[in-house]
Amino acid sequence: MNHVISTGKAFFSCPLTTTKLTSDLAISLPYVFGYPYSTLWSKIGARGHSDSRASLKTSRLRIGAISGGILLATGVGLSSSPIYADSDYGDATNSEPNTPLRELVRSYIVYTMCSFPVLIDLSPTMLDVLTSIPGVKQVTEALVRITFFDQFVGGDTALQTLPLLKNLRSANKGALFAYSVEVDEHEATAAAASPKKVSQPVHKRIVNEMVHCIDVAADFEDGIVAGATAGRRTWVAIKLSALLPDANALLHYSTALLASRPKSSVPFPGCPHASDLDILYAPIGSLKSDLTEDDIKSLRELHSDLNRICKRAKERGVKIIIDAEYSWYQPAIDALQLALMREFNKLGGSNDVQPLIYGTFQAYLRRTQPYLEQSFKDANAGNYSLGVKLVRGAYHPRETIAHRSHQSGKPSLGKQDACYNVCAKMLIGELKEDLGRKAQTMGILFGTHNWTSCELILKELVVTGLAKRVEGEEEGVVSLGDEVTERLTIGQLFGMSDALTDYLVGRTRSSTPMIIKYVPYGALSEVMPYLSRRAIENKSVLGDGQASEERRRAGSQIWKRIFG
Of 94, 158, 13, 178, nearest in space to 454 by CA:
94
What order of strands is seen across the sheet that includes strand 478-480?
A: 467-469, 478-480, 508-509
Bridge-partner residues for 12, per DSSP? 365
- Residue 228: how many CA atoms within 13 Å on its side-chain side? 14
**Number of other CB atoms surrounding residue 132 within 10 Å:** 12
Q: What is the pLDDT of residue 195?
A: 52
Q: What is the mean pLDDT for each group of 10 consecutive residues in the chain (564 residues)? A: 39 40 32 36 38 45 48 44 37 60 92 81 83 90 92 96 96 95 56 56 94 98 82 95 94 93 86 94 76 94 98 96 92 98 88 86 91 96 97 71 56 79 97 89 95 96 95 86 95 92 95 96 87 68 68 90 84
Exposure string (b/e) for 434-469, b if CB count within 10 Å is 16 or more? beeeeebbbbbbbbbbbeebbebbbebbeebebbee
117 — phi, psi (to 5°)?
Answer: -55, -35
Q: Look up the pTM and report it.
A: 0.82
Q: What is the pLDDT of residue 175?
A: 98
Q: What is the pLDDT of residue 407?
A: 53
Q: What is the pLDDT of residue 119?
A: 78
The identity of residue 238, as a single letter, is: I
User: d(Cα 194, Cα 483) in Å, to the nearest integer?
Assistant: 53
In a 3-state reduction of DSSP, which class is residue 194?
coil
User: d(Cα 236, Cα 322) in Å, to the nearest integer?
Assistant: 9
CB 461 within 8 A of CB 446: no
Q: What is the pLDDT of residue 184?
A: 56
Q: What is the pLDDT of residue 280?
A: 93
How does strand 478-480 pair with strand 442-447?
Answer: unpaired
User: d(Cα 417, Cα 128) in Å, to the nearest integer?
Assistant: 35
CB 421 within 8 A of CB 364: no
Q: What is the pLDDT of residue 475?
A: 74
Of 177, 170, 143, nearest in space to 68 by CA:
143
In a 3-state reduction of DSSP, which class is residue 175?
strand
How does strand 234-238 pair with strand 442-447?
Answer: unpaired
CB 310 within 8 A of CB 227: no
Of 89, 94, 174, 87, nearest in space to 477 by CA:
94
Bridge-partner residues for 235, per DSSP? 176
How does strand 31-32 pair with strand 35-36?
Answer: antiparallel
Extract the runs of DSSP E, i.e. beta strands, from 182-308: 234-238
In a 3-state reduction of DSSP, which class is residue 490?
strand
Of 531, 544, 556, nearest in space to 151 by CA:
531
CA angle 403–404–407, rounded 5-degree value? 85
Q: What is the pLDDT of residue 419?
A: 94
Of 418, 427, 299, nearest in space to 363 by CA:
418
Q: Is the peptide bond before 355 cis (omega within 30 degrees of 0)?
A: yes
In a 3-state reduction of DSSP, which class is residue 543?
coil
Burial class (CB in 10 A: 0-12, 13-18, 19+), 315: exposed
Domain boundaries, the chain: 23-43+154-521
CATH of segment(s) 23-43+154-521: 3.20.20.220
CA angle 461–222–176, rounded 5-degree value? 50
CA angle 102–106–112, rounded 5-degree value? 145
Of 480, 493, 490, nearest in space to 530 by CA:
493
Q: Is the peptide bond before 370 cis (omega within 30 degrees of 0)?
A: no
User: d(Cα 250, Cα 378) in Å, to the nearest integer?
Assistant: 23
CB 245 within 8 A of CB 303: no
Q: What is the pLDDT of residue 128?
A: 84
